[in-house]
Amino acid sequence: MDRFQQIRLLEAMLFAAAEPVTEPTLLERLPEGIELDSLLEELEGMYAARGVNLVKVGKGWCFRTATDLSGYMVLEREVPRKLSRAAIETLSIIAYHQPVTRAEIEEIRGVALSKGSMDALLEAEWIRPRGRRRAPGKPVTWGTTERFLADFGLEDLTDLPGVEELKAAGLLDSRPNLGAIAMQATDSDDDSEDGDDVDERTAFLENDEAFESVEDDEHIALED
């Protein structure tokens, strides 16, 4: 096999690979006695000015969209993300009481926390584990993420409104005891499960402007 054929074979192997291919793997598949380093260097030069470039990623080689074209290869679409009443209350408790354990969330809400509520918040990338508490059982504590701040337009957790601010904005009824949470046996993760009573600060995440308008921008990169 002459050098031109060797380059063609190397090119085909890299194009067909779903992931970056390491040099030892390439050597196993290429004919014996070839100079892989020089072939990679030549192939890299051939694609230097093309729409795709040969690049080294970690310990492997692969083709990637040219960096100056990557901005044209991104699609954006808005996907509204709706959460159940239970998930919103859980997020509110985590935001205002973090770091907080699952048991503490259940104690504040007065109901058992279903797996679905936490899964929805994890999927939205609004909460994350914050370590374990130095207590019997070493329970995991939870807190909000940078994504939470970005999606809700907050620079810092100190920007979360207080009770008086929510009342002034008309998001809370000023009558006493409105925020009492009804005791229930379990949390079924249904929007109608918890009735109309809700912790006061939950209103910030439930009002139309603060929560309903939150949408995710999914960036679908085509460069890979």
Phi, psi of 38 (to 5 degrees): -70, -35
Residues spanned by the domain of 163: 78-218
Phi, psi of 191 (to 5 degrees): -60, -30
For position 167, what pLDDT does the model report? Answer: 67
Cβ atoms of 61 and 14 within 8 Å: the answer is yes
Other beta carbons within 10 Å of 113? 20
Dist. CA 40–CA 9, nearest whole Å: 11
| CATH number of the CATH domain containing 40 | 1.10.10.10
Helix axes 85-97 and 102-109, enclosed angle (nearest 10): 120
Last residue of a domain, one of 20, 37, 65: 65
Query: DSSP character for 75?
Result: E
For position 129, what pLDDT does the model report? Answer: 93
Cβ atoms of 203 and 166 within 8 Å: the answer is yes
In a domain, 70, yes or no: no
For position 26, what pLDDT does the model report? Answer: 93
Dist. CA 117–CA 31, nearest whole Å: 55
Same domain, 154 and 44: no
Same domain, 101 and 24: no
Same domain, 50 and 84: no
Task: Specify the pTM.
Answer: 0.45
pLDDT below 50 — which residues of the chain? 174-186, 188-200, 208-224
In a domain, 126, yes or no: yes
For position 58, what pLDDT does the model report? Answer: 85
Cβ atoms of 76 and 219 within 8 Å: the answer is yes
In a domain, 223, yes or no: no
For position 170, what pLDDT does the model report? Answer: 61
In a domain, 72, yes or no: no
Q: Which two tokens stand for residue 112?
A: 């058992």
Same domain, 92 and 59: no
The total number of structural domains in the chain stands at: 2
For position 63, what pLDDT does the model report? Answer: 94
Same domain, 94 and 173: yes
For position 205, what pLDDT does the model report? Answer: 59
pLDDT in tens, 53-73: 999 988 899 999 998 998 888
Instruction: Give percent helix, percent strand, percent coil of the chain, each to the nearest 5.
Output: 45, 20, 40
Same domain, 15 and 88: no
In a domain, 32, yes or no: yes
Same domain, 147 and 90: yes
In a domain, 202, yes or no: yes
Dist. CA 50–CA 28, nearest whole Å: 28
Same domain, 56 and 14: yes
